[in-house]
Amino acid sequence: MHRSEGKQRPRPLGEDHGPVRYGPPAPDPGLPVLPELAGVLAASAARPRPEPPGGGTILRQAACAYWERRSLHGGPEDVAAAPGAQPLLLALIAAYGGDVLMPRPCPATWMPQARLLGRPAYHVPTPAECGGIPDPYALLETVRRVRAEGGRPRLLLISVADDPTATLAPPELVREVCEAAVSEGLHIVSDETWRDTLHRPHDTVLLSPAEMCPDDVTVLTDLAGALTPSAWPVAVARFPATGRAAARRARVLDILTALGALVAEPVASAAAHALGEPAAVTERIRQAAHLQAHVASAAHRAVLTVGALARPPQAGRHLYADLGPLRPRLAARGVTDSMELEDYLTKRLGTPAPGGHRFGDELGALRVRIGTGPLLGSTPEQQTESLTAVEPLELPHVARALSIFAAALDELR
Cα 322 from Cα 324, distance rounded (Å): 6
Share of the chain above pLDDT 70, in %: 95
Interval 261-312: pLDDT, tens: 999 999 999 999 999 999 999 999 999 999 999 999 999 999 999 999 999 9
Q: Which amino acid is at 287?
A: Q
Instruction: Give the confidence band of 186 by pLDDT, cuts at 50, 70, 90.
Output: very high
Q: Specify the pLDDT at position 22.
A: 66
Instruction: Give the confidence band of 12 by pLDDT, cuts at 50, 70, 90.
Output: low
Residues contacting residue 147 through CB under 8 Å, at least 6 positions apart = 153
Share of the chain above pLDDT 90, in %: 90
Residue 205 contacts residue 167 (beta carbons within 8 Å): no
Average pLDDT over residues 379-406: 97
Q: Specify the pLDDT at position 140.
A: 98
Burial 129-165 (b: 16+ CB within 10 A, else e): ebbbbbbbbbbbbbbebbeeeebebbbbbbbbbbbbb
Q: Specify the pLDDT at position 13.
A: 52
Average pLDDT over residues 218-223: 98
Cα 78 from Cα 385, distance rounded (Å): 40
Q: Specify the pLDDT at position 21.
A: 54
Interval 366-375: pLDDT, tens: 999 999 999 9
Average pLDDT over residues 178-184: 98
Q: Specify the pLDDT at position 11.
A: 55
SS3 157: strand
Q: Specify the pLDDT at position 203.
A: 87
- CA distances in angstroms from 44 to 40, 265, 273, listed in the order given: 7, 7, 12
pLDDT, the chain, mean? 94
Interval 16-27: pLDDT, tens: 444 445 678 888
Average pLDDT over residues 183-203: 96
Q: Specify the pLDDT at position 4.
A: 36
Q: 1-15, 187-201, 296-310 — which is least confidently predicted?
A: 1-15
Interval 82-137: pLDDT, tens: 999 999 999 999 999 899 999 999 999 998 899 999 999 999 999 999 999 999 99
Average pLDDT over residues 302-331: 97
Cα 147 from Cα 141, distance rounded (Å): 10
Does position 9 have pLDDT exceeding 90, yes or no? Answer: no
By CB atoms closer than 10 A (0-12, 13-18, 19+), residue 237 is buried
In the chain, the N- to C-terminal Cα span, in Å, equals 29
Q: 8-12, 73-77, 355-359, 390-394 — which is least confidently predicted?
A: 8-12
